[in-house]
Structure 1
Amino acid sequence: MSDDALPRRAGTYRTFYAEPIRVASAHGCTITDVHGVDHLDAYNNVPVLGHSHPGIAAAVHAELLRVNTHTRYVDEHVDDYAADLLALLPQHIEDVVFTCSGSEANDLALQVAAYTSMATGVIVARRAYHGTTSATAAISPSLSPAPRDHVVPVDIPSASAPDFEAQLAARVRAAAAELDRRGHGTAALVLDTTMTSEGIVAGEHVRLPAVIDAVHDAGGLFIADEVQAGFYRTGAWWGFEALGVAPDLVTFGKPMGGGMPVAAVAGPRVVFSDFGASQRYFNTFAGTPAPLAAAHTVLRTLRDGGFGERVPEAGRRLGGGLTEVLAAEGIEAEVRRAGLMVGIDLRPAVGGDERRAGELAAALVEAMRARRVLVSRTGPGDAVLKIRPPLVITDAEIDRLVDALRGSLGDVGAGG
């Protein structure tokens, strides 16, 4: 089949880029297409240690040769991973329940929150994405803007607003009051801790203590969605660390297994015990040895491989390079960054016109793809370039990414 014959959309699926990439192989931060052309992957956060990591492959292979059971049996390898994961979390987070995907993890967290709070209402960010199950799609306005009676979206303030915390806390209190008025009460506030779908919201003013106080005052739980932000993406183990809060429940996914399907919910033991005493949760494939072998390899490599120093260093190099290019080309844009999670908000470049900024972002994504560097876009009007390379990206690859943006700005006539 030729590239021209490839469908860009099939059913609910969509391919990336006007000219989709037919992948032949991928290693590290490089995706090679069927024509032998290499592309720098600066978008996929699933292969957190890079594509085709040999340690992950070896660990999974060994476990498949050792045992292949479902989750009704006790396995010390699973227990060891759970202990190592919990050791990286706040002390009150004592138990972990495994799932196969971030969607399932957030779905289970919603069930636990509803049981614990005896309420059904959920507060989310205006453009949130938390999964594709019925329950998580209902709290994901980015999938469908159709209003849901038990869900109240709130606008996220500007990351540069000095009163970010006070603004958001007031909006969450208003949302909780609205949920009370509708008869649902507040079960949870669910936030992706880098608020990726909002355009990556990060910075010195982005704090949440007063926001979480508002949720707790309403009787709800704070669910920290670490599916995108977790596992050193932000330069720390968890995105919530920069927000000055300790979550009631934490969900994990995507990079957790470095490409294998594994995810989880973690929280206080009493919460899971109470929930489990009256409601069963069982997942045949979640928490089985092979995917958790991949997850344990990811955890150990991140823990012991110097990523606590490398990710902030690489993030500064990337953020600084992008900022310099934009300034040199006369492009007004806001570069927001948490470790190696970077958003370039292009709305200031076109006087705040969201539609035009989205068109510019789309053009730049395609121009960079033509220069064999893969990024995407997100945020209001899809006007924010989204950059989140594997954490093993080298300085040379960072410089290549920055050079691709420089050239792409010229390609689309954005300079001056």
Structure 2
Amino acid sequence: MTETMLERRARLMGPNVPTFYRTPVHIVKGQGVWLWDTSGKRYLDCYNNVPHVGHCHPRVVQAIAAQAAELNTHTRYLHDLVLDYIERLTGKLGHGLSQAIMVCTGSEANDIALRMAQAVTGNTGIIATDNTYHGNTSAVSQLSSRRPPIGGRAPNVRLVPAPDNLRPVGGSLAGQAQAFADNVARAIVELEAAGFGFSGMMLCPAFANEGLPSVPKGFLDPTVQVVRAAGGVMIADEVQPGFGRMGSDFWGHEALGFAPDIVTVGKPMANGHPVAAVLARPDVMAAFRNAFGYFNTFGGNPVSAAACLEVLQVIEDEGLQHNAAVVSAHVMARMQALRHPLLADVRGNGMFFGAEFVLDDAMTPATDFVADLVEALVTRGFILNRIGRAQNTLKIRPPLPFSIENADSLMDAIEAVLAEAPVPA
């Protein structure tokens, strides 16, 4: 009997290895905003933020190949490229964030950021939202709410209610910013009473995994005030919103209007080459370097640095941040014109978009309906997915070269699928 791809995966990778979609897509080629499967079917990529400047961008491919043919080693030997990159990257940041540690994944970067907060404050208590994801290490998985850790969450972790458009923290959108900050303040008191003290708060400035709520610039001001008053640090996880995706700003924290002490970056920074980084002020970096011995064999290698440098240059040369702003406005206009009995809210911020569906006035999540919607769109050749606490929000997050023409193709398909979708009784 012939073994299927899924059976082979299970045999070689073990059970419960995640795949997207009920019938997983077997992708064999990518170019720009397009993907192709084994049958030659073409899909418009409306979801993947890793190929930030487009799948297989020829300039990034060439940069990787040229450097790999010359030298690849690690940062215990001296090499210019990693220093060139850190200078270029920190040049796009304010708030005194001028130093970096290069690593391989966002999980590693966030793990280091937690230790930086501990080194600065001498405390271990940490706060995140209750509907987030920050990675896979033992430490950061404590902050992620997808699955509870075995044995329960660590006692030095507090998760506060995430902002929400339809079910706002505190009961009203007008009062949500202060209610969010009040919950952070209570969590700090709990951590201090439990003897852990408070080291800081980690969050994604776009609240991407929380369902992309529409939080205005200044939303975090009361929270930042609470954190600073308690001596903690603010950690901005820019793995999703960074590198121009916000359109209006290069960074999510700029769009939200706060000054982080530590910034973490990852997936999009080298267009899929495995690299990430932690950026911090010199005082924060010194505290970490003096408290922890840290070295990363592959972090900051010349090939990764070459890829990272080329991505920054492509973003600039091709005007991709500006494109994100222009296309974002167009997509939002199209989304606001959508009509369906279950559609409760549409929202977007740069090249992030969400459409939330509920079953009734009680805001019961239409989880199965959105799952079916995703499958119908994939069948039509559009790669996207869903997000939010109940997975009832359609999530659109395309590569930055996504054009108005691409956007119209997607929105036409969404309109058609919604017109055909049966409304649950």
TM-score of the pair, normalised by structure 1: 0.94
The residue aligned with 1:36 is 40
Q: Does 1:400 align with 2:400?
A: no
- Confirm or deny that 1:351 pairs with 2:369: no
Spell out, residue by residue over 1:162-185, the C-alpha distance to the aligned partner (whole angstroms, 9 max, x if none): 233211111110111111122111
For residues 5 and 142 of structure 2, the distance between their equivalents in structure 1, rounded to whole angstroms, comes to 35
Q: By how many angstroms is 1:206 displaced?
A: 6.0
Q: Which runs of 4+ in 1 moved over 6 A?
A: none
Kept in 2: contact 1:48–1:390 (CA 8 A): yes
- Report matched runs for 1:313-352 at 5 Å: 313-324=326-337, 326-327=338-339, 329-347=340-358, 350-352=360-362
Is 1:157 paired with 2:163?
A: yes
Give the Cα–Cα distance (whole angstroms) in 1 for the partners of residues 70 and 217 of structure 2: 49
The separation in 2 between residues aligned to 1:199 and 1:257, in whole angstroms, is 25
Match of 2:238 in 1: 226
- In the alignment of these two chains, the number of paired residues is 412
Residues 301-353 of structure 1 deviation map (CA, whole Å, 9 limit, x = unaligned): 112322232111101111211221x22x4443211211011111213x53344
Alignment of 1:37-186 (within 5 A): 37-144=41-148, 146-159=152-165, 161-186=173-198
Equivalent-residue separation in structure 2 for 1:307 and 1:30 (angstroms): 17
Distance 1:12 1:170 in 2: 39
Letter in 1 for 2:273: M
1:69 to 1:237, Cα distance in 2 relative to 1, 3 A: same
Residue 257 (str. 1) matches residue 309 (str. 2): no
Q: Distance in 2 between matches of 1:273 and 1:266?
A: 12
Corresponding residue of 2:381: 372
Match of 1:310 among 323, 328, 337: 323
CA–CA separation in structure 2 for the residues paired with 1:352 and 1:404: 29
- 1:168-213 deviation per Cα after TM superposition (whole angstroms, max 9, x unaligned): 1111101111111221111110001111121012343662121111
Match of 1:286 among 268, 293, 299: 299
* 1:139 alignment partner AA: L
Question: How far does the alpha carbon of each residue in 1:56-89 deviate from its partner, in whole angstroms, 9 at most, with x for none?
Answer: 1000011111211111122112111110100000
Counterpart for residue 257 of structure 2? 244
Residue correspondence of structure 1 range 177-196 to structure 2 within 5 A: 177-196=189-208
TM-superposed CA distance for 1:12, in Å, is 4.7
- Give the equivalent residue in structure 2 for 1:361: 370
Q: Using the alignment, how far apart are the partners of 1:4 and 1:10 within structure 2?
A: 11
Give yes or no for contact 1:162–1:205 (8 Å, CA) kept in 2. no
Q: TM-score, normalised by structure 2?
A: 0.92
1:208 corresponds in structure 2 to 220
Could you tell me whether the CA contact under 8 Å between 1:45 and 1:390 is conserved in 2?
yes
* C-alpha distance in 2 between matches for 1:200 and 1:5: 35
Paired residues of 1:337 and 1:343 also in contact (CA < 8 A) = yes
Gaps of 5+ in 2: none
- Worse-superposed segment, 357-366 or 196-205: 196-205
Could you list the per-position Cα deviations for residues 99-138 of structure 1 after superposition, in whole angstroms to 9, with x for gaps in the alignment? 1000000000001111111111111011110000001111
C-alpha spacing 1:60/1:205, structure 2 compared with 1 (3 Å): closer
88-97 vs 272-281, greater mean Cα deviation: 272-281
1:386 equivalenced with 2:395 (yes/no): yes
Q: Is the 8 A contact 2:246 2:321 kept in 1?
A: no
Change (3 A) 1:3 1:187: same
Amino acid at match of 1:215: V
How far does residue 411 in structure 1 lie from its aligned partner after superposition?
3.5
Distance 1:122-1:386 versus aligned 2 partners, 3 A rule? same
**Partner amino acid for 2:24?**
P
Q: Going by fraction, where is helix more abundant, 1 or 2?
A: 1
Decide whether the 8 Å contact of 1:101 with 1:262 is kept in 2: yes
DSSP 3-state at the match of 1:196: coil
Name 1:25's counterpart in structure 2. 29
Which stretch shifts more, 36-45 or 149-158? 149-158
| C-alpha contact 2:321 2:400 (8 A) present in aligned 1 | no
How far apart are residue 277 of structure 1 and its match?
Answer: 2.2
Return closer, same or farther for 1:50/1:81 CA change in 2, 3 Å cut-off: same
Deviations 1:260-284 (A, max 9, x none): 0010000111211122123211000
| RMSD value, Cα | 2.0
2:43–2:382: 8 Å Cα contact kept in structure 1?
Answer: yes
Gaps (5+ residues) in structure 1?
none
CA contact (8 A) 1:164 1:206 kept: no
Mapped to 1, the partners of 2:226 and 2:62 lie a distance apart of 47
Name which of structure 1's ranges 221-230 and 87-96 shifts more when overlaid on structure 2.
Answer: 87-96
